[in-house]
Structure 1
Amino acid sequence: MEPSGELALAAEFPAPDREQWLDLVRGVLRKSGADFGSLITTTYDDIDVQPLYTADDRAPDAGFPGLAPFTRAGRPQGSVDGWDVRQQHRVADRDAVMADLENGVTSLWLKGLDPASYDDVLADVYLDLAPVVVDAGADFHRAGHAMLRVWDQRPVLPGEVRGNVGADPLGVQARTGRPADLAALTDLLGKAREFPALRVVVVDGLPFHEAGGSDAQELGASLAAGVAYLRHLTDAGLGVADAVRLLEFRYAATADQFLTIAKFRAARRLWARVTEVAGAPAPQLQHAVTSPAMMTRRDPWVNMLRTTVACFGAGLGGADAVTVLPFDAAIGLSDDFSRRIARNTQSLLLEESKLAGVIDPAGGSWYVERLTDDLARAAWAWFREIEAAGGLPKAFDLVADRIAATWEKRRANLADRSDAITGVSEFPNLAEPPVVRAPHPEEPGGGLPRVRYAQDFEALRDAADAAPERPRVFLATLGPVAAHTARATFAANLFQAGGIETPNAGATKTVEDVVERFRESGARIACLCGSEKSYAELAGPVARALRDAGAERILLAGKESGSPFDAEIDEHVFLGCPALHVLEHTFEALVTPTSSGVQP
């Protein structure tokens, strides 16, 4: 102990600098044949995420919570009193609404319900305590007036009504391609003014996210939509401050926790700049929704982990309200169990993990501050490009084209499993019984597409399940278990991602053993799996013997090496290979009738 009673931590060690660290890392990488660039990841907004951040990685001062630019929080107290736990309801079920409110939910999101059902669904709800957000799509005008009547007829003081009428004509245009009905929005303003704390407009970023867009594209497009609404509302006679108060923003939260944290921080900073220029600086009210695009239909239980991480990121990022979609949301209408898990995910993070106990806990991290700044700059540049093209809705074609390009890039990374999806493209379980739910009401189309990252692999799984007999690829494991386990596991994981069974030869000693087990399997395609040593000794003879035994195609787990046996191989499968392409044409070969005319 020092005389002062303080510990001098690391005082006896020299202070390292960044170059020393880089030299050590490069030395390690050289031994494995890699370079420093392999440690840098690039986002879909072309932001390079470095392996190390230090005080030299400068970012603008984030300010203080509750003060412009509101990067750290929209309110001085942040979310230390907890964010709003908002549950989505897609069925007019009064009991489900009350079960949610009695078990941790603090506000309701009514999506796609018949406006005529609002009064009954909310009959037992204390509307001065539970805010209601309406989401009726193209029917927002009728739905908004229906909800305004409910509030008006209940014994609730006008100043105590919270929630959002849910008008989003630009979002409707993004979803359907139909021109935005801004006149209908104007008509809602008259009655809504009777409720001073009520919001009228939802600026929904989900249509841009669900079309495959990047984080900056979602932020920039939603910022352009928010500006378009401000112009319209002020043209309708509202002051800027009053117009700003009517808007609420909705963003997707993904399983990339740091990008999610940065997204919500950057969004507040961007909107603060817009409102500052407009003459009425104000924080952005944010509603986070766990990403529908990341949800899977196969192995849907993993969605619980995805939504937990997404909720964690949104909470740490300072979202005002969070909706955790139930794990079966991509399959159909959620049941009581999945809805309970969704709300308890938030309760655990709030009540047990105390996630809201600190204001902006990620603030001050060199990585998070720099990522927030990089994302804000990318989104601002995209917003300015939209504005230069005439703003929304004029620039929708530009927005659609740019998002489509990002989706194709993302889709390619999903196809070769650079972007892995646990339970779908990685570690699938063919024996898993499907989760069955009643279907969702049909979603409107005609505008931006709705995509899910797992959709291409799941389409193959569906086709394999529907085949008269499940397709199979025989794994010709060469040599003892220790020699083939790694590549056999890789190959099994790959083919099962396409719904293809993978019987294997086990530990084999002779070519005849492999051929006998291949015939017993009933497969028509074989994949050799072994070590480099076993390939050198057995790959050629085994491939020829399997071909003689009726194998129509021979694959090998490993990259082409220039060895003599490569001439015997039709295709190589390896980490980073075009996995989806391999699966698609393997599946096509397996479901094509054989030369004898017999369907496999």
Structure 2
Amino acid sequence: MTVPPDVPSTPQRGPFALAADFPPAERDRWRELVKGVLRKSGAATEDTPLADVEGLLTRRSHDGIPLGPLYTADDTVPARPGLAPRVREVRPEGEGLAAWDVRQRHTDPDPVATNEAALTDLENGATSLWLTVGESGVPVEALARALKGVHLDLAPVVLDAGAQTTEAAEAFLALIVERGMSDTALGNLGVDPLGLAARTGVPAEVASAAAPAVRCAREFPRLRAVTVDGTPYHDAGGADAEELGAALAAGVAYLRALTEAGLSVEEAFGQLEFRYAATADQFTTIAKLRAARRLWDRVAEVGGAGPVVQRQHAVTSSAMMTRHDPWVNMLRTTVACFAAGVGGADSVTVQPFDARLGLPDAFSRRIARNTQTLLLEESSLARVVDPAGGSWFVERLTDDLARAAWEWFTEIERAGGAAEALSSGLVADRLAATWERRRKDVARRKAPITGVSEYPDLAETPPERAPAPEPPGGGLPRVSHAQDFEALRDRSDAHLAATGERPKVFLATLGPIAVHTARAGFAANLFQAGGIETITGEPDAFAASGARVACVCSGDKVYEDRAAEAARVLKEAGAVRVWLAGKGSYEGVDANVYAGCDAVETLRTALRDLGVAE
């Protein structure tokens, strides 16, 4: 074939030499350039050593893991797919790679409604069911009705029955036998006494997991018995390594119980499935799932088992979901689902965007299903073995998470194991400390929550949903990252219902629009996060505004000349408190609002000043 003269030849033959004409990249040169930028912002000086530059841009996760600004091949050695330590797993199915299992959750206590919803899900993209049974879901005696028409040999069913796990498992196994599917039925009985203890505070009977596991191994070869649920630790505010370490400790406890009951090591490993939370922090979620496989591979190695791949079920985080502006939850769950798929989860559950409002409706369940379908079918995400594999950042983060989780796991083991660590308060205390750190970051908006702590919509009309059954409680707390801001919004909503109007803050702007716009916009966004409307105008318009609190907004140079006078005018007009947008201290100004301030405490103070009931 003759190549036309206007078509470039291959890079090897010129004229395109790719990177050959560029000098090799050097880390110190990069540091010099970054230092120059940091000097302009005041974060570095001429005397700052180059070796310290990266530290100025490094932050730490809630696990204490450093997250640097730059990673290179020197940071870690990428793992190989399908080989130890199995952070990257190949799961062939036919001619291509296996897609993950799309697992839809059902919590409606009405067995007829659950059955209709389940069949709709299975007909429209879902491939398995996660069914809440017992006090928080379908009654045990109605389990067969809820699963009417569900092909148990095609669609795995995972039970979540809490305190009624034994009864639900017996009912499910009886249904399998009745349908003649003992050799073909798929799913998991959901036995998890440690997870139940974490949720309810009831002492865990780890040995109770043995009998159903032995029965499944002997009579129902395609059925698992045990779910190792890490989400109670995440839902209590725990960090990712803490979730991994606690789940690992629970998994090891179950292995001991199952092997003592007569199962071989391989059979015991085969009875366990792990459940983890997937969040909108996509890289951490990816690394968490990869680290979990590495940790479990190490347990298998120490336990004398052959190659073992941890079976993983990822569910989008309950703690990250919001009640206010719930539509944004669609974005959060999309990112989390993407991360779960990239991280290699075997099964993924996307919680409907309205999950915090009550029982999801058909629309929200459809969106949850289609989120996964889009990633699987349109994005072809499951056709790649490990999309994040080889990324120096992800490989290093995987390694750091695995090491931090192993350290926490060994601490639990030294304390006597998972059950003892729960009953003694070791786990609760550790998670509570982490939650307080996270809570402070949220309060200061270092961890912004779109639609709640940032860019709230006070005019929103949230969808109405039927109330959902209360989940079991009494053990580790269930926290919401948005709970403090949402409590403030609830106070404002109640005030609106009682008086017909929301509380208001007057933004007293000084100087030209170009000077005060940025800080006025910042202050409006902050106060609205607490459900407080803002009115903007010159200080002398305060008296007619109907507000009792004011916030002065302008630039620092204007403040020097006019802030004290503005505060005097506002106080004389009846302002009970005068805030200032910025960090300056001026006569008559009571307090300041600025980036990084404790927004929650600021808003509590403002609501008290405005007479809004708690």
Partner deviation per Cα, 1:399-447 (whole Å, 9 max, x = no partner): 1111110001111111111111000000001111122212221121111
- 1:170-209 equivalences in 2 (<5 Å): 170-189=194-213, 191-192=215-216, 193-209=218-234
- 1:502-517 equivalences in 2 (<5 Å): 502-505=534-537, 508=538, 514-515=539-540, 517=541
Describe the SS at the equivalent of 1:483.
helix
Q: Tell me the CA shift for residue 459 of structure 1.
A: 0.5
- CA distance in 1 between partners of 2:93 and 2:398 (Å): 21
User: Residue 103 of structure 1 corresponds to which residue in structure 2?
Assistant: 124
Letter in 1 for 2:603: L
Is it true that 1:130 corresponds to 2:141 in the alignment? no
Letter in 2 for 1:450: R
Change (3 A) 1:582 1:195: same
Q: Is the 8 A contact 1:77 1:359 kept in 2?
A: no
User: Residue 267 of structure 2 corresponds to which residue in structure 1?
Assistant: 242
User: Residue 436 of structure 1 corresponds to which residue in structure 2?
Assistant: 464
User: Residue 42 of structure 2 corresponds to which residue in structure 1?
Assistant: 33
- 1:324-403 equivalences in 2 (<5 Å): 324-396=350-422, 397-403=425-431
Q: Tell me the CA shift for residue 538 of structure 1.
A: 2.2
5+ long unaligned stretches in structure 2: 1-8, 45-52
Is it true that 1:318 corresponds to 2:349 in the alignment? no
Counterpart selection for 1:72 from 88, 107, 116: 88
Describe the SS at the equivalent of 2:410.
helix
- CA distance in 2 between partners of 1:592 and 1:180 (Å): 44
Is it true that 1:169 corresponds to 2:197 in the alignment? no
- CA distance in 2 between partners of 1:381 and 1:187 (Å): 31
TM-score, length of structure 2 as denominator length: 0.92
- 1:256-271 equivalences in 2 (<5 Å): 256-271=281-296
- CA distance in 2 between partners of 1:76 and 1:122 (Å): 30
Letter in 2 for 1:19: D
Describe the SS at the equivalent of 1:133.
strand
User: Residue 167 of structure 2 corresponds to which residue in structure 1?
Assistant: 142
- 1:40-119 equivalences in 2 (<5 Å): 40-59=58-77, 61-65=78-82, 67-73=83-89, 75=91, 80-91=97-108, 92=111, 93-111=114-132, 112-119=137-144
- 1:559-598 equivalences in 2 (<5 Å): 559-560=583-584, 562=585, 566-591=586-611
Describe the SS at the equivalent of 2:19.
coil
- CA distance in 2 between partners of 1:123 and 1:524 (Å): 61
- CA distance in 1 between partners of 2:296 and 2:259 (Å): 17
Letter in 1 for 2:493: D
- CA distance in 2 between partners of 1:54 and 1:216 (Å): 23
Q: Is the 8 A contact 1:64 1:72 kept in 2?
A: yes
Moved more, 205-214 or 187-196: 187-196
Q: Tell me the CA shift for residue 128 of structure 1.
A: 1.0
Q: Is the 8 A contact 1:145 1:188 kept in 2?
A: no
Partner deviation per Cα, 1:23-52 (whole Å, 9 max, x = no partner): 111111111112434421210111111111
- 1:298-317 equivalences in 2 (<5 Å): 298-317=324-343
User: Residue 598 of structure 1 corresponds to which residue in structure 2?
Assistant: none
TM-score, length of structure 1 as denominator length: 0.94
- CA distance in 2 between partners of 1:549 and 1:27 (Å): 48
Change (3 A) 1:96 1:325: same
Q: Tell me the CA shift for residue 539 of structure 1.
A: 1.5
- 1:388-467 equivalences in 2 (<5 Å): 388-396=414-422, 397-467=425-495
Counterpart selection for 1:5 from 2, 8, 13: 13
Q: Is the 8 A contact 1:477 1:488 kept in 2?
A: yes
Moved more, 7-16 or 259-268: 7-16
User: Residue 6 of structure 2 corresponds to which residue in structure 1?
Assistant: none
Partner deviation per Cα, 1:68-101 (whole Å, 9 max, x = no partner): 3211016357993210000000113211111100
Describe the SS at the equivalent of 2:75.
coil
